[in-house]
Chain A
Amino acid sequence: MRIPMPDLYIAGGLFALSQLTYFLIMLKFIIPLVLFVVLAIFLALGLNLNPHDIPSPFINKPAPAFSAPKLTAPTEKLSTNDLKGKVWLFNVWASWCVSCRAEHPVLNELAKQQAVMIIGLNYKDEPDAAKQWLDTLGNPYNVSIMDADGRIGIDWGVYGVPETFVVDKKGVIRLKYTGPVTPEAIQQTLLPLINQLQAEQP
């Protein structure tokens, strides 16, 4: 039997060898490039993360119970038991809070749609200043309760006003929104969730 053209094998082998060396030399340049790209991606992600957007440990946990005086009628109290079987938005606000002022028209607009009950937590505020704020800017809240010393705030893990929670009919927290609620957040996140929760059985 004839050995078929050994020269061709040698040429092929040499070609493969040269390709391998070429690849190894290129690797010297490729590895730092890959490392740089990975590092750049991590840094870019880190820059765009909001350090104040801390994941809430309350999602899908029962809402912390409260029983607190109403802002407009301090002798009456509102408690979490009164809200059983209802979907409600719990919005933490204060008259001293600058971002709340930006958020307020958005809440007023949401209140007009009557899609959900909005409960306000007037956090560490002067009752008179709070009432005046609602008189001048409008009152989107079905009820606002007072948290003068911030204890309800601590129970709900509040660390930056405004914050907004969505609570379902079973009294379970389903969403937390940190910072002023935007119209986009209402349309894309809050309203779809609220509609879904309103359809659930209590």
Chain B
Amino acid sequence: MKIVMLLLLLLSPIANAVDAYQFNNPEQQAAYQSLVSELRCLVCQNQPIGDSNAELAADLRRQVYEMLQQGKSKADIQQFMTERYGDFVLYNPPFKAKTGLLWLGPVVFLVVGLIAVFLFTRRKKTVPPSDSVGEDTEKLAAVRRLLTDKDTENLS
């Protein structure tokens, strides 16, 4: 008996996570599935509300379902959520001043990286020869001096 109770206790959260919602048509169900997978659960922030067992996630799923039943569109529901929880609730936030860094950051890093790679590879090719040329002219001058000295010695 104790084991059965324990098993029931273990199973209960899983049973709660599955909401038994009845949908009017397949489109509505599809809209529900896509919404609960792209709205963020604010309690467990790396899960969409569709995957989360948190109470708030269940409440938000209920809210999504009820609004769909009332004939609200996906955009309406997304707007309802952002009005209350901010853009943070969307896994796919819109592009605006506040989210600019989020969207453009990776591009900026990529461009900076490419420029750095370009500069470094170019410098490696050009810098060493210029150094060796300076050295060579010095050596050449020294050799020339030696040669002319020898020449004058021979002449005298």
Q: Judging by beta carbons under 8 Å apart, are A51 and B45 in contact?
A: yes
Q: Is B69 engaged at the interface, CB distance under 8 Å to the other chain?
A: no
Residues facing A in B63-120 (CB within 8 A) are 63, 82-86, 88
Q: B22-59 vs A: 1/0 string, CB under 8 Å? A: 00000000000000000000110100000000011001
In the assembled complex, which residues on chain A have CB atoms less than 8 Å from the CB atom of B45? 51-52
A residues less than 8 Å from B85 (CB atoms): 54, 57, 157, 159
Q: Does A131 contact B (CB under 8 A)?
A: no
Interface residues on A, range: 10 to 19
How close is B13's CB to chain A, nearest CB, in angstroms?
A: 16
Chain B, interface residues (CB within 8 Å), range: 10 to 19
Q: Tell me which residues across on chain A come within 8 A of B84, comparing CB atoms.
A: 57-58, 154-157
CB distance A149 to B86 under 8 Å?
no
- A157–B36 alpha-carbon span in the complex (Å): 17
Cβ contacts under 8 Å, A150 to chain B: 55-56, 59
Task: Please give me the residue from chain A that is nearest to B54 by CB atom.
Answer: A159
Query: Contact between B88 and A54 (Cβ–Cβ < 8 Å)?
Result: yes
Rounded to whole angstroms, the CA-CA distance of A84 and B83 in the bound complex is 22
Decide yes or no whether B60 CB sits under 8 A from chain A. Answer: yes
Give the complex CA separation of A124 and B55 in angstroms. 10
A160 beta carbon closer than 8 Å to chain B: yes
Cβ of A55 < 8 Å from any Cβ of B?
A: yes
Residues of B within 8 A of A79 (CB): none
Which residues of chain A in 44-97 are interfacial with respect to chain B, using CB atoms and an 8 Å cutoff? 51-52, 54-58
Closest chain A CB from B104 CB (angstroms): 16
Cα(A162)–Cα(B17), bound, Å: 24
Query: Which residue on chain B has the smallest CB distance to residue A124?
Result: B55
Binding site for B on A (CB under 8 A): 51-52, 54-58, 124, 149-151, 153-157, 159-160
- What are the 7 tightest A-B residue pairs by CB atom distance, in nearest-first order? A159-B42, A157-B84, A57-B86, A150-B59, A54-B88, A157-B85, A159-B56
10 contacts between A and B (CB under 8 A): A54-B42, A55-B86, A57-B82, A149-B59, A154-B60, A154-B63, A155-B84, A156-B84, A159-B56, A160-B43
